Amino acid sequence: MARPRRRLGRESLTAFLFVLPSLIGFITFFAVPAVRGLWISFTNWDLLRPAQFIGLGNYARLLQDGEFWNALTVTIYYVLLNIPLQTVLAMVIAVMMHRLTDSVVIKGLLILPWLMPPVVVGLIWLWILDPNLGILNVALKSLGLPAVAFLGLPQWAMPSIAMINIWQYVGYTALLIFAGLQSIPPSVYEAASIDGASESQMFWKVTVPLLRPVLVFVLVTSVIGSFQIFDTIAITTKGGPVNATKVLNWYIYEQAFSRFNMGYATTISIVLFLILIVVSLIQMRLLRAGESDL
Amino acid sequence: MNRRISLWMALTFALSLILSACGGSPPGTASAPSADTGGAATSDEVVTITYWLWDANQLPAYQQCADDFMEANPNIKVELVQSGWGDYWNNLQTGMVAGTAPDVFTNHLAKYPEFAAKGQLVDIQPFVEADGVDLSVYIGDLAELWARDGKRYGLPKDWDTIAIVYNQEALDAAGVTLEELNNATWDPESGGTFGELIARLTVDENGNNGLSPDFDPSRVKQYGLIINGAGEAYGQTEWSWLAASTGWRHIDELYATKYNFDDPRFIATIQWLADMMQKGYIMPLQQVTSLGGSAAFNSGLGALHANGSWMIGEFANNATFPFGFARLPQGPEGRKSMFNGLADSIWTGTQHVNEAWQWVKYAASKDCADTVGEFGVVFPAQQSGVDKAIAAFQAKGLDVSAFTEQALEPGGTFLFPITDHASEITAIMSPVMESILLGQVDAASALPEANAQINALFQQ
Amino acid sequence: MAPNVTGAYRPKQQFPWGKILAWMAMALLLFVTLFPFWWVLRTALTAPRAVFQNTGSLLPVQTTLINFQRVLGLVDPQTAIAMGGSGQAINFARALINSIIVSGLVVVGQTTFCAMAAYAFARLRFPFRNGLFTLYISALMVPAIVTTIPNFILVRQLGWLNTFAGIVAPTFLMTPFAVFFLRQFFLGVNREVEEAAYIDGASVWLVFWRVVVPITVPALTTLAIVTLINTWNSYLWPLIVGSDESVRVLTVALGIFRSQTPQGAPDWTGLMAGTTLAIIPTFLIFVLLGRRILDSIQFTGFK
C-alpha cells in the first residue's frame, strides 16, 4: 500500500473515534433491542405486569395460530401482487421515458406520489375508492358498470392495497431503472443493431442484462419493503375485511398494542426477521447480485 | 474473519445482556401509587387533572362541566383531551404502558374488565363510601355495571338505547306510515312486517321497490335498512336488538365464562341479516364499512337505519332531509334494546388520585348531568338530566321518545355483555361476522366453531 | 437494416404512430398520477355537507375555505360540528415545526455520523473492522417492527416518551443502510487525492473533512434527501413515542385527526383539507429541491 507508514495503533484509535457514534447507535437501538426482542419472545409479557419466562411457549402457540398463518399467507399474496406488476410497469415507464423525453418536469411529476407520506396516500385512496361516494365508483357507475367495494370485499381489498402502493412507488422505481437505461452506452445498441438485432432482441439481450445491478437493487429493497407493509393498511383497512389484509406487520402491531400480548408479538416479529433473511438470501442467489454482465 | 465475527457477536451479546439486565425488567406496578401519595393539595397549589374522552360531540358539554367544576375547585385544573374511538384505546393502552395515561378517562363496558384485571383502574368503592355517594340516583342498573367483587371502577355518566332512524321522504314515497313502522313485528324465519317494510322501502335505479318482480338487487338506489357494520362480538346497534328480541342473550349473567353465539336463535338472526343483504334490501356490508352507517343514511342511501341514542345529534347536524326516530320492531319476545352506559375511571398511575376522584364525582353528579342534558347530545345517567336532554332535543325539533320509551319499558332492555377476554373475543368474532354478512359462509357452520373458540378462552 | 417486413415498407416520413401512442400512454400515466392530488384539493374546497351531493363533479361543490379554517382550529368546535364536521382541529403550525425539528435533527445527525463510520470502514484499518461491518449489514435485514417494540420500552425507561430525543433517537446516530450506502460510495472514490494529503502530513480528521467530504457531496446529499423523506413520512414510530401535541409530527397529527366519533362518518372535507396542508410542505421541498431529488434517486441505483 502506498500509504505512508503510520502506527497502526494510532490509526485504530482514530478509526474507533470515527465509528464510535454509529456504534453507540447500533448497539443501543439495533443490537440490544434485537437481543432484547429475542428475550421478550420467550416471555408472556403484557407490558403492564412483570414478565414470566415461558420458554418456547410463544413459538409453540405460533405454530397452531391460524391467524398467524393467515397473516403469513396474506403477506406473501401481497408481495406477489405488488412486486411483479410494479417492476414490469416501472420497466415499461422507464423505457417509454427513455424513448420520449428527459424532461425534469415529467420525471418530477411521476415521483410526486413517492414523496408523500403513506398516511396521506392511504387517506387519498380511501376517499377515492369509497364504494358509495368515491369518484372511482361514481365513474364506474356512469359507465354503466356496477360499483365495487374496493376496500370492503375480501377478494378486492388486497389487490386494491397493492394498487395503491404501486401508484405510490412505480414512478420512483421507474426513475431508478431509467437512470440505469441512461447509463448504457449508445454504442452497445449501435453494435447490436449492426449485428441485425431486432427491437425485442435488443431489449432482452442487451438492456435487461445491463440493467441487472439496478434491478437487483430495486427488487431486493422493494421485496423487503413489501414484506413490512404497514402504514397503508393502518389507514385504510386495518386488517379487514375478514382478515383479508391482516399482514404480519399489522398482526404484530395488533397483538402488541391492542391485545397486550407483547411477548407473542415479539415472537412473530422474530419469525418475520427469519423469513426476511431467507427471502433475501434466495433473491441474492437467484439474481447473482453484485455480478455485472458488462 | 469468521473468528472475529463470532467474537464480536459474543461481545455484543454479552454487552446487551448486561444492559438489559441493568435496564431491569419492565416495571409492572412501579408507577402505581398508593392512595396516599396523591394527598390533597394545599389550597394555593393548583393540580392539573387530564381527562380523556372520545366523543367529539360531547366535548363542548363536558368542557362546560369542567369549567363549572374548576370554578368551584380553584385548586384543580381539568384538561380535556378528545381523540377518536379508534385511536383512543390504542393511545390509552400505550399511555398506560408508558406512564402517560390520563388521570381520568371515559371508560367503556367492553374494555374495563381487562383494564381492571391488569391493575390499571383505581377501585373507587372506598371513596364512594367515604363521601357517601348515593348510587340509587342512577337509572336502572347502571351503577352496578361498573362493580365487580366488591370493587368499583367507575361512576355512570350516561346511558343509551337503540332505535330506528327513518327518512321521512322515503317513508312518504313508499306510503309507509310511522304507525306501521312503530308497530312492525319481526322474527328470524319470516322477517315479519319489519322485513316486508324493509323490502317495500328498497328502491332500485329503475324505481322498482323490493317487492316488485322487476327489482334489480345489483342496482339499488335506496336500501330499506342500513346497519353500522358486522358488529364485532357485541352488535350493539347492528344485530343485538334483533337477536335479543328472540329471547337470545350474549351471555347468561354478568362475568359469565360462556357465550351463546352457537344458539339457533342467534344463528337464525344473523343468517336473516346476511340473506337480506344478499337480496339487496339491507345495505351490503362492503358498502357500509368505509363510509359508516350513519353517513350512508345521512346521504340518503337508506330509508331506515338502526343506531344508538348518542348519535341523535349527528343526524340532526348532518341529515339533508326530514327524519325521525321509530321504535324497534317487536320480536317473538318483545322489543329489546341493549342498555349501555359510559363511566369515568381513574387510572392507577395518577399522581393525584383525590383530585381525580373529585372530578369523577362531579362528572357523575346531578349538576354535570343537568349541564350535559342541556346540550342535548346524550342521555345523562340521572333522571333530571334526562328530562333536560329531552327538552333540549325537543327544542331542536327532535322527538326522542323512541329511545326513552324503550329504556322505560319493563323488560325492554338488556345489559351490555361484560366478561373477561374482551379483546380476544372481538378478534375471533369480527372476521366471522364479516364473512357471514358478506355471504362467504353460513352462520350455522361458522358460529358454533367461533363460539367454541371463545369459550375455550375461559378454560385457560 | 434487418429484413423486417413492415419495417422495409415503412417510409421515413410516415406519421410516427408509435411515438404518438407512447405520448398518449404517458399522458394517461400523468393523469393517473396527478388526478388524486386534484381530488384532494377539490374535496377540501367543497362544503362539508355538499360532499354527499354531486359526487361526480370534477370541481368543488359550493366552494369554500371553511374546511381549512376548521382544520386549523379557526372555527370553534361547536360551530364546526354544526356544519357537519368533526369538531377536531390540527395544530398545524405546531405539527409542522415538530416535523421540521425531527427531520432536521435526523438528517444532520445521521448523515454526519454515518459518513464518519463509513469512511472508517472504507479506508481505515482497525481491529474487528470486517466483523463489525458484517454485523451492521446483518442489521439491514431486521424488520423495523422487531426493534420497534424493544426501542419503545428503552425510550420509556430513558424517560424520553413524548420528547424529540425519543422520536429521533433510533435513527439519529446511524442506520445500517446509511453506513452501507456511504461505505460503498467511499470505496469507489479515487484514493490519490487523499494519499497526497496524507503525504503532506494531514491528519485523518483533516483529510476527511477537507478532502473527502467536499468531493463526496453528491452521495452525502443523496443520503440526506432520502433520510429527509423517510423521516418526514414516518408514522408508526412517532405515533407510539410522540403522540403528545407538543412533539406530534404532521403525519401523526393527520392520523389522529382522521379518527372520529364512534360509528360516525369520516369528516372527508376536513380530512382532505388536512391532507392538503400536509402535502404542501412536501410539495415545497419538491419544488425547491426537485432536480436534486431526481439526481439522488438516480444516484441510489448505482452504489
Q: Residues B160-166: what's their mean pLDDT?
A: 96
SS3 per-residue string spanning chain C? CCCCHHHHHCCCCCCCHHHHHHHHHHHHHHHHHHHHHHHHHHHHCCCHHHHHCCCCCCCCCCCCCHHHHHHCCCCCHHHHHHCCCCCCCCCHHHHHHHHHHHHHHHHHHHHHHHHHHHHHHHHCCCCCHHHHHHHHHHHCCCCHHHHHHHHHHHHHHCCCCCCHHHHHHHHHCCCHHHHHHHHHHHHHCCCHHHHHHHHCCCCHHHHHHHHHHHHCHHHHHHHHHHHHHHHHHCCHHHHHHCCCCCCCCHHHHHHHHHCCCCCCCCCHHHHHHHHHHHHHHHHHHHHHHHHHHHHHHHHHCCC
pLDDT in tens, B119-129: 999 999 999 99
The predicted pLDDT at position C84 comes to: 65
What CA–CA distance (Å, rounded) separates B93 from C191?
55
Which residue in A21, A117, A234 is closest to C116 by CB distance?
A21
Prediction pTM value: 0.84
Contact call for residues B189 and B210 (beta carbons, < 8 A): no
Q: Write the single-letter amino acid at C18.
A: G
Q: Which of A199-213, B441-455, C74-88, C103-117 has the lowest mean pLDDT?
A: C74-88
Which residue in C156, C243, C260 is closest to B91 by CB distance?
C243
- Cβ under 8 Å to B: C residues 65-94: 77-78, 81-84, 86-88
* Long-range pairs, C165-169, Cβ under 8 A, ≥24: C166/C241, C166/C242, C166/C247, C167/C102, C167/C237, C167/C238, C167/C241, C167/C242, C167/C247, C167/C249, C168/C102, C168/C105, C168/C106, C168/C109, C169/A28, C169/A29
What CA–CA distance (Å, rounded) separates B250 from B258?
9
Q: Which residue of A has its CA nearest to B436?
A: A242
Q: What distance in Å separates residue C161's CA from the closest CA in chain B?
A: 7
Q: Which three cell numbers stand for residue B286?
A: 362492503
Phi, psi of A116 (to 5 degrees): -80, 145
The predicted pLDDT at position A27 comes to: 94
- Cβ under 8 Å to A: B residues 346-405: none
Q: Residues B317-337: what's their mean pLDDT?
A: 93
Is it the case that residue B190 has pLDDT exceeding 90?
Answer: yes
Looking at the complex, does the CB of residue C52 fall below 8 Å from at least one CB of chain B? yes
Cβ-in-10-Å burial (0-12, 13-18, 19+) of A179 comes to buried
H helix or E strand, kind and range, residue B220 = strand B220-226
Closest CA to C244 of B50, B280, B40, B247: B50
Rounded to a whole number of angstroms, the distance between the first and last alpha carbons of chain B is 50
The predicted pLDDT at position A48 comes to: 80
Contact call for residues B381 and B156 (beta carbons, < 8 A): yes
Contact call for residues B222 and B303 (beta carbons, < 8 A): yes
Is it the case that residue B422 has pLDDT exceeding 60?
Answer: yes
The predicted pLDDT at position A2 comes to: 45
Contact call for residues A118 and C235 (beta carbons, < 8 A): yes
* Domains of chain C, residue spans: 97-258
Contact call for residues B314 and B297 (beta carbons, < 8 A): no
Q: What distance in Å separates residue C76's CA from the closest CA in chain A?
A: 25
CA B328, B334, B337 angle in degrees (round to 5)? 50
- Determine how many CB atoms are found less than 10 A away from the CB of residue B323: 19
Share of chain B above pLDDT 90, in %: 69
H helix or E strand, kind and range, residue B105 = strand B104-107
What CA–CA distance (Å, rounded) separates A66 from A133?
35
Q: Which three cell numbers stand for residue C154?
A: 428503552
Three-class DSSP category at B35: helix
Using the structure block, give the residue that is written with the C-alpha cell 435513527. Answer: C171
Closest CA to C235 of A126, A120, A157, A254: A120
Interchain CB distance below 8 Å, B7 and C131: yes
How far out from the chain centre does Cα B385 lie? 20
Q: Write the single-letter amino acid at C135.
A: L
What CA–CA distance (Å, rounded) separates C178 from C223?
7
Domain B47-160+341-396 in CATH 3.40.640.10: no
pLDDT in tens, C203-234: 888 888 888 888 888 888 888 988 988 899 89
Rounded to a whole number of angstroms, the distance between the first and last alpha carbons of chain C is 37
Q: What distance in Å separates residue C259's CA from the closest CA in chain B?
A: 4
The predicted pLDDT at position C260 comes to: 53
The predicted pLDDT at position B24 comes to: 36
Q: What distance in Å separates residue C124's CA from the closest CA in chain A?
A: 6
Looking at the complex, does the CB of residue B206 fall below 8 Å from at least one CB of chain A? no
Interchain CB distance below 8 Å, A48 and B15: no
Interchain CB distance below 8 Å, B56 and C87: yes
pLDDT in tens, B1-48: 333 333 343 434 333 333 333 333 333 333 333 334 344 445 568 999
- Determine how many CB atoms are found less than 10 A away from the CB of residue A283: 15
Q: What distance in Å separates residue A146's CA from the closest CA in chain C?
A: 15
Q: Write the single-letter amino acid at A247.
A: V
Determine if the peptide bond prior to A241 is cis (ω within 30°).
yes
Neighbours of chain B (3+ CB pairs under 8 A): A, C
Rounded to a whole number of angstroms, the distance between the first and last alpha carbons of chain A is 29
Which band of pLDDT confidence, cut at 50, 70 and 90, is reported for residue C117? Answer: very high
pLDDT in tens, C163-180: 999 999 999 999 998 998
pLDDT in tens, B389-400: 999 999 999 999
The predicted pLDDT at position A6 comes to: 52
How many residues are recorded in chain B? 460
pLDDT in tens, B242-281: 999 999 999 998 889 999 999 999 999 999 999 999 999 9
Closest CA to A222 of A269, A266, A170: A170
Using the structure block, give the residue that is written with the C-alpha cell 409492572. Answer: B28
Interchain CB distance below 8 Å, A146 and B97: no
Q: How far is CA C74 from CA B79, C68, C79, C276, in A?
A: 20, 8, 10, 17
Compute the Cα dihedral for C77, C80, C85, C89 and give only its sign: negative
Looking at the complex, does the CB of residue B12 fall below 8 Å from at least one CB of chain A? yes
What CA–CA distance (Å, rounded) separates A123 from C44?
13
Task: Confirm whether B47-160+341-396 and B162-339+409-458 share one CATH topology.
Answer: yes
Interchain CB distance below 8 Å, C236 and A172: no
Beta bridge partners of B302: B223
Which parts of chain A have pLDDT scores under 50? Answer: 1-2, 4, 290-294
Which band of pLDDT confidence, cut at 50, 70 and 90, is reported for residue C301? Answer: low
What CA–CA distance (Å, rounded) separates C69 from C274?
10
| Whole-number average pLDDT of chain B | 87
Architecture of domain C97-258: Orthogonal Bundle (1.10)
Looking at the complex, does the CB of residue C179 fall below 8 Å from at least one CB of chain A? yes
Q: Which three cell numbers stand for residue B396?
A: 331542536
Is it the case that residue C139 has pLDDT exceeding 60?
Answer: yes
Q: With contacts defined as CB-CB under 8 Å, which chain C residues touch A180?
A: 301-302
Architecture of domain B162-339+409-458: 3-Layer(aba) Sandwich (3.40)
* Domains of chain B, residue spans: 47-160+341-396, 162-339+409-458
Q: Which of C46, C49, C52, C70 should be substituted to probe chain B, the one whose Cβ sees the most B Cβ atoms within 10 Å?
A: C52
Q: With contacts defined as CB-CB under 8 Å, which chain C residues touch A72?
A: none
Interchain CB distance below 8 Å, A32 and B96: no
What CA–CA distance (Å, rounded) separates A73 from C125?
46
Please list, in sequence order, all residues whose beta carbon lies within 8 angstroms of the beta carbon of residue C7, skipping any fewer than 6 positions away.
Answer: C1
How many residues are recorded in chain A? 294
Interchain CB distance below 8 Å, C278 and A273: no
Q: What distance in Å separates residue A150's CA from the closest CA in chain C?
A: 16
Contact call for residues C33 and A112 (beta carbons, < 8 A): yes
CA A86, C303, A269 angle in degrees (round to 5)? 60
What CA–CA distance (Å, rounded) separates A36 from A59?
16
Q: At what angle do helices A32-40 and A262-287 cross, to 10 degrees?
A: 120
